[in-house]
Structure 1
Amino acid sequence: MPWGGCCPLALAMPSRRSRGSWLALAFSVGAAAEAPVHKHWLLQAASWAFPGPNGTFEAVDARVLRHSSCEEDPKWDSFRNMLVAAMDAGKVLSQDGALQDAAESLLEPLDQQSDEFFQDGGAEFMRHLQGDLSPRTSGFCFPGYQAACLMRVLRLAALALAAPESGASYSAEANAQTCANFYGKDFALEYMSSTSWPVRLLDLQVHIVNSPGVQMPMRLARTLPTGVETYDQLRQHWPQPPHSAQLTAGSVDPQGLSKACLLCRAARVTQQIRVLSVDGGHCALWLEPAITLRALFPGIVTSQLASYSSGTHCLDLMGKDAFGDEPFLANQEYFGNNPAFRAADVLVGQWVGECAKLRTHYSKPVIAYLGFLLLNDPSVGQYHAWSEPLEHFWERLAFLDACDVHSLQGLAPADGGPPCAAVYEEPQLAEAAHWQTGRRKPSVRPLSLYVRAVHDPSSSSERVLVVNRGRLVRDTMFCNTLNAIRHPDYRYSFIDQQKGMPYAEMASYRAAVMLPWDMNLVMFHDLYAMNLPLFLPDRQGLHHVALTYFSRFLRNAAHQGMPFSEHVPGRGAPPHPFSPFQLEYVEARDYWLGFTEYLRAPAVGRFASLPDLLLQVSQLDGVKVSNRMRAHNAHSFRQSHSFWSGVLGIFEKHRGPTQEADVPVPVWHFKTPWSDSLCWSQGLTEEQCCSDGPE
């Protein structure tokens, strides 16, 4: 059960005063609001008449939603009707005396209830939303309580603005924090609470500025602008990316760095190239460059895979079909003058530290295809005996930057060594690194050609796949609830993904629904590559699902004290208004979500609630959506060909016998708490490491 309750607060309620209305805004901003937001309000507030005996739009079972909305309870139903009527009339709700009195009359008896009472109420609500129509035992209405709680918070916030000395600011935040906590672990009940109550969790969270833990998002600004009460209102005041950090349309180098490199644009691949992709622990990013580069340049590029292990983990995770007949070298030593590495023309790695070492050890052009935040690199910190202090990692990064094709505008590296290319898998990762380093690098989406499966709308089933690669309880509950609230005549069923499901089976579904558990997932590109219609939460919903692993990472004691959010010394002014590591704040979350492919990729369905999703799935034009995805995939293929042609062309131009370097390749010696002497040069192992020289 995802429930994580907290103790309710019994607070004295001041007199009613307010400035503006969150619900009035939902209708007044009109064109300024995003379409999914407007659709959410329309669906939840204006279209809940439940026409017909069993449902709305022949998508939702009205019996379940009536019950979970507490319509059989006169006091809660009366309050809900007052709320919707005030919303329809465009009233300022915090100044509606009757509505505020009704909210307080419902809250006051609950203020003294125990933590267990609210936990039981949340669990009961979950059962009702999953189809249990048994009577409520406590008279507690979960979504009604949230709506009444928000009315109290808005009134206290308005009082705090009008009378700062009243102490209402603390009371408003304490109430907001308490009410928000009732959504449970990972805010699972935010997605379950798709009822006729017009409430969203973010409207509570923008009133929190002192969260007790990283799981609870809060507001970064210490005060709200005048008249601002809700997420939608506050969002109008947030900065957009500066011109220097804006992206163009598309999923291949939206930073425009390859177009700005004239020598790269003119370069072409004419000679045979042997690519060796080196396993760095991420199976998809290991497989992706080997298959993609060979597909982009048939007859020119040959590729091979090399792993430090047996590789069976990746075979089990992705399936044998993904690997096909890929040439695969297992149990390889990367830095022992490996003949397979020597025979390659280009090496591809996943980590900055590793790629810098590969370039020096083998004197080969190297592609760093990066799918992680910079300082997640295992070569920095204390994750392994060979991990290095942070200052040496920045040296590795500068070493790669000094040979980078785009940084040098296609010119040869000054150290006389081979060129290299640092490329990120996602724009969000590339821009996060831009914030840390002050140097911008391109991002190129995975084409995911290894899925070897294509969706055919004409023969697809009537099942919808709920992607559960994250193995989160929330996803299973989400799937169960969708099936429970369907109209009896609803044609489509929702199926929770099973472990080991082949890509070909996924492609046979009508569509896929994904609640992304991280800011960037290759799984998103895998599904998109199939031309499989794909549904994700809207921007507001992503706030509470796409940061799940981030919050868990910060809470994990194993990462405490490790480098993570630091920036390069002397970076200068940050290129972005928010740090990519301030994601416990709603402003920063919203800003950085804008750089994800979840919101940038075309033809992706984005839903505001469970009924909204049911409706979109039933109205899906699978042929049209699949064709749009196919067109984007084809466009990305052409753009990728142009991008990698420039990179490999520069590699070819400068990969010949290297001239004598003006300065010798640097040798770095350093000590760590776990080893007396380590050095980085010529790929020396720890045992071979020299013990003299500067530290």
Structure 2
Amino acid sequence: MDAVSELLDCEDSNPESPWEDLWKATSRHLISRAGQLDASQELGDLARRVVRRWGPLAMVNARRELSGDLMGRLPRRTVSSGFCIYGVMTAYFFRCFESLPPQAPAQQVASCLRRITSGPLGAMDTRDNWGPLEFSESSRWPIRPLDFRLLQEHWEACSLKSLTVEKCPDVNLQELRLSSGLGAELRGVPGAGAAVAIARQLAAPAPPPVPLWLGLNLVPGKPGARVPPTLRMVVIGSHLGSNFEPLSLVQACAARASLRLKATVFGTAYPWPEMPCTIFGQCARSRPIDDAVGLLVKQMYRPVWKPEELLELLAEGLEEPQLVEADLILCTQPMALCALLRGITDLPMLLYQAFPLVGATPLAFRHLLLLQLRETQVANPKRSSLVAYSEYLSQQVQRQTGQRPICLRPHSLYAARAPTGGGYSPDRENPRVLVSRLAGWARDGAAAVLHLSEAFAERMLRPETRIRLVFLGVQRPDAETVAGISRPFGYNELRRFRAAVYFPWDMGMLLFSELYAVGVPLLIPGRAWIAAMIKRMLENTDFGWWQVREEGSAVALPSRKSLPGSTLSWPWLSANSSIAEILQLYELTDFARWPHVTAFASLPELMVSLRTIDFDSTSQQMIRWNEATLPRSLDILARTLASLLGNQTLHAEKDESSCV
């Protein structure tokens, strides 16, 4: 643990070490709210001293050793004696502003800062194993990796205008943080809008049940009797969460309206095909539909399919008895599946969007798919209805089709009410905290966060607590403070975790809402840390944050700056997106908008939160908020279903929303 403290927090007992003096001088500079060009002589002298000791070659060698140390691949403390990554980064940072003549081009500063974040000799660059620094935030050092990004973007904007140093505002870090929406302390906090939304939801009276069966063109059970009919519905889609999220809402609508519902689920392939059968008793299979879904899942990220392949399978699937007798199709993802299916059946269809609209669609067919979905929304709203599950996706759909869909926030009723599930019931004797989801996407960062978490947990969670961190998708022998879990498990085990630490890797994940619905207290990285990770992933990887990547930005309409009711001009990101643009989109996610979610700015701060959080009270608040927002969602969905099924007096407006 001493090595981790030295490397990340710069705690060095050596009296010759410059780190404590550099830390104090940097802190005084930030408190003074001065610009970087006005750094004190003391700060400049300390920075020069560090850079002389840790020049480019020494920096490269130490950084390579650092990655091995952070990921536990080398015996602890193999890095050259006295090295401190955040101290070195800070020294390089202030050197970029030293002895600059007023007429020097702003590009000179921008280039210097760029070398720190991405240059071959830069202090932060980890191209071979990009993750450890993003997953190892110092708990005390006053300048963070995101500050480098913010100031780099500021000086690059000046260089694009061909400004000189004296003409480019010497803005301080506090001003940059505030202008980016991060706040003076660069800490992640839930969005302020959540409190307003909660108050509105709690104050609003529950709407009366909507009689879905009124006006339906179906035969009652007995002639002349007011007995509601049975609604036969088929659900088609690839992922369990995106299938059962809307299905569970339809089930709740039907129960509230005393409507019998008979639902059949086809196509579920993720996380494994047998899960709907083993947990929910949905054991029906359709070879052609399963094959169509399976084809899209296999080609999820590099699609090469042709429409005739899927159309042939789907046409055969429509002959299944459940579909022949169906009154309604609920189609989820991929949306290409739903668009093709829409064209070969007259059945009313509810399309549920928890996925990029053009995901798993070959580039040649993307605009045609979007035009078809636009036609579905505009010309036949009584025959089809498109529902998005988050405010971000809702605005993205609006940009792609020109029409804003209905937005229903996920309630994950299926997780809390599953036959093998239930509410929060943690193991209090041997409390475990689930950590998700790193193994599949964070590369070496996953090993780094596991190794560092173990070190910090040994120091900060023992002996006061018995908490053990359990990393999802990790195979390794259990230790005192950390363990791995790679086998599949159901919702009954999910509710047994004391809490969950969630590292988002896309704009929306249904495991997040499942944990929320069950009442497992959630802890997520703060917004500044998230923004730094998103930026690095966009620059250096071709995976993660798939919903927001610019590769999926096809639109069906001529380019316009914005659309009525939308707050976004371009709801996608690329490697060149600014931190402000990243944060603008992240603010629309459930991670940033839902209340009672604890944010942490570093791994040490996470350990403090795990020691101080009131798990039971937080769980109750989450469950109450989920219940308080449910009536609004059910009311919108009930009117949508009633309209699809023939009720002429009930309908939901296209832009209605229960998304917070």
1:368 match: 351
SS in 1 for 2:281: coil
Q: Distance in 2 between matches of 1:519 and 1:206?
A: 22
For the Cα contact (< 8 Å) 2:399–2:555, is it kept in 1? yes
Q: How does 1:479-518 map to 2 (within 5 A)?
A: 479-486=450-457, 487=460, 488-491=462-465, 492-497=467-472, 498-499=485-486, 500-518=488-506
Question: Which residue in 2 is equivalent to 1:291?
Answer: 248
- Note the 1:376-387 alignment, pairs <5 A: 376-378=359-361, 380-381=362-363
Report whether the alignment pairs 1:343 with 2:336.
Answer: no
> Residues 518 and 602 from structure 1, CA distance in 2 versus in 1: closer, same or farther, beyond 3 angstroms?
same
Checking the alignment, whether the CA contact within 8 Å between 1:186 and 1:544 is kept in structure 2 is no
Aligned to 2:50: 106
Could you say what secondary structure the match of 2:508 adopts? coil
Give secondary structure in 2 for the equivalent of 1:198: coil
CA RMSD of aligned residues (A): 4.2
1:75 equivalenced with 2:17 (yes/no): yes
Superposed CA offset, 1:60-96 (max 9, x none): x778525652513423334334335525863636421
Structure 2: gaps (5+ residues): 183-190, 215-227, 290-312, 473-484, 650-660
Instruction: State the shift of 1:368 in Å.
Output: 0.8
Could you list the per-position Cα deviations for residues 553-608 of structure 1 after superposition, in whole angstroms to 9, with x for gaps in the alignment?
Answer: 7479x99x997213233353324455222343222111100000000011000000
Query: For residue 191 of structure 1, what is the aligned residue in structure 2?
Result: 135
Partner in structure 2 of residue 420 of structure 1 = 384
Deviation of the 1:457 alpha carbon = 5.4
TM superposition shift of 1:166: 8.3
Between stretches 163-172 and 601-610, larger displacement belongs to: 163-172
Give the 3 Å change call, closer, same or farther, for CA 358–177 of structure 1 in structure 2.
closer
Residue 475 (structure 1) aligns with: 446
CA pair 475-221 structure 1, distance change in 2 beyond 3 A:
farther
Mark the CA change 1:166 to 1:617 in structure 2 (over 3 Å): closer, same or farther: closer
**What is the SS of the residue equivalent to 1:368?**
strand
* Deviation for aligned residue 1:293: 1.2
**Alpha carbons 2:336, 2:360 under 8 Å: kept:** yes
Q: What does 1:491-640 correspond to in 2, within 5 Å?
A: 491=465, 492-497=467-472, 498-499=485-486, 500-545=488-533, 554=542, 564-570=552-558, 572-575=560-563, 576-584=567-575, 585=577, 586-640=579-633
CA drift of 1:536 comes to 0.3
Match of 1:47 in 2: none
Shift of 1:236: 1.3
User: Structure 1 residues 118, 490: closer, same or farther in 2, change over 3 A?
Assistant: same
CA distance in 2, matches of 1:460, 1:279: 41
Distance, in Å, in 1 between the alignment partners of 2:69 and 2:146 is: 20
Task: State the match for 1:431 in structure 2.
Answer: 395
Out of 113, 125, 132, the residue aligned to residue 182 of structure 1 is 125
Once the two structures are superposed, the pairs formed by residues 373-412 of structure 1 within 5 Å of their partners are 373-378=356-361, 380-381=362-363, 388=365, 390-403=366-379, 405=381, 412=382
Q: Is the alpha carbon distance of 1:376 and 1:593 closer, same or farther for their aligned partners in structure 2, counting shifts above 3 Å?
A: same
* Contact preservation (8 Å) 2:600, 2:606: yes
Instruction: Letter of the 2:455 partner, please give it.
Output: A
**What is the match of residue 164 of structure 1?**
105
CA contact (8 A) 1:347 1:365 kept: yes
Q: CA deviation at 1:440?
A: 1.5
Task: Give the structure-1-normalised TM-score.
Answer: 0.69
Residue 290 of structure 1 deviates from its aligned partner by 2.4
Give the one of 437, 442, 457 matched to 2:406. 442
Give ranges in structure 1 of 5+ residues lacking alignment: 1-60, 212-217, 240-245, 383-387, 406-411, 413-418, 657-695
The residue matched to 1:568 in structure 2 has which SS?
coil
Quote the residue 2:281 is aligned against.
Answer: 325
Larger mean CA deviation between 277-286 and 427-436 belongs to 277-286
Give the drift of 1:127: 6.2
1:95-138 CA distance string (max 9 Å, x none)? 2111111111211343341675143342365268x996647535
Matches for 1:209-248 after TM superposition, within 5 Å: 222=160, 226-230=169-173, 233=176, 235-236=178-179
The one of 258, 266, 281 equivalent to 1:307 is: 266
Aligned partners of 1:478 and 1:301: how far apart in 2? Answer: 49
Partner of 1:151: 94
Q: Which moved more, 1:222-231 or 1:71-80?
A: 222-231
- Checking the alignment, whether the CA contact within 8 Å between 1:507 and 1:530 is kept in structure 2 is yes
User: What letter matches 1:326 in structure 2?
Assistant: Q
**Distance between the aligned counterparts of 2:274 and 2:55, measured in 1?**
49
What secondary structure sits across from 1:494 in the alignment?
A: strand
1:165 to 1:479, Cα distance in 2 relative to 1, 3 A: closer
Structure 2 CA distance for aligned equivalents of residues 118 and 501 of structure 1:
41
Q: 1:275-298: per-residue Cα shift (whole Å, max 9, x none)?
A: 534433223212322233113322
Q: CA deviation at 1:539?
A: 0.6
- Summarize deviations over 1:663-693 as a string: whole Å, max 9, x none: xxxxxxxxxxxxxxxxxxxxxxxxxxxxxxx
Alpha-carbon contact 1:76-1:141 (below 8 Å) kept: no
Give the CA deviation at 1:625.
0.4
Q: Distance in 1 between matches of 2:11 and 2:180?
A: 36
SS of equivalent to 1:293: helix
- Opposite residue 330 of structure 1, the aligned amino acid is S
| Gap change, CA 1:149 and 1:640, over 3 Å in 2 | same
Higher mean C-alpha displacement, 475-484 vs 115-124? 115-124
Do 1:381 and 1:562's aligned partners in 2 also have CA atoms closer than 8 Å?
no
Shift of 1:617: 1.0
Worse-matched range after superposition: 279-288 or 634-643 = 279-288
Equivalent-residue separation in structure 2 for 1:602 and 1:622 (angstroms):
14
SS in structure 2 of the partner of residue 501 of structure 1: coil
Q: Does 1:141 align with 2:88?
A: no
What secondary structure sits across from 1:423 in the alignment? strand
**Residue 299 of structure 2: aligned partner:** none
1:140–1:578 distance in 2 versus 1, CA, 3 Å: farther
Q: 1:175 to 1:317 in 2, by over 3 A?
A: farther
Cα displacement (A) at 1:228: 2.5
Contact kept, 8 Å, 1:180 with 1:205, in 2: the verdict is no
Query: 2:251–2:261: 8 Å Cα contact kept in structure 1?
Result: yes
Q: Indicate yes or no: 2:433 matched with 1:464.
A: yes
Equivalent-residue separation in structure 1 for 2:110 and 2:537 (angstroms): 31
Q: 1:150 to 1:142 in 2, by over 3 A?
A: same
Relative to 1, partners in 2 of residues 1:209 and 1:312: Cα closer, same or farther, differing over 3 Å?
closer
Contact 1:294 1:303 in 2 (8 A): no
TM-score by length of 2: 0.72
CA distance in 2, matches of 1:549, 1:177: 12
**What is the number of equivalent residue pairs in this alignment?**
552
SS, match of residue 465 in structure 1:
strand
CA distance, structure 2, for counterparts of residue 269 and residue 76 of structure 1: 76
* Contact 2:353-2:387 at 8 Å conserved across structures: yes
- Summarize the Cα distance change of 1:362–1:428 in structure 2 as closer, same or farther, 3 Å threshold: same
- After superposing on structure 2, the runs of 4+ consecutive aligned residues of structure 1 that deviate more than 6 Å are 218-221, 250-254, 264-267
Deviation of the 1:145 alpha carbon:
0.9
Paired amino acid for 2:111 = Y
Distance 2:262 2:533 in 1: 37
**Structure 1 residues 67, 198: CA separation in 2 closer, same or farther (over 3 Å shift)?**
same
* Aligned mates of 2:18, 2:283 — CA distance in 1: 65
- Amino acid aligned to 1:481: L
3-state SS, counterpart of residue 570 of structure 2: coil
Post-superposition offset of 1:504: 2.0
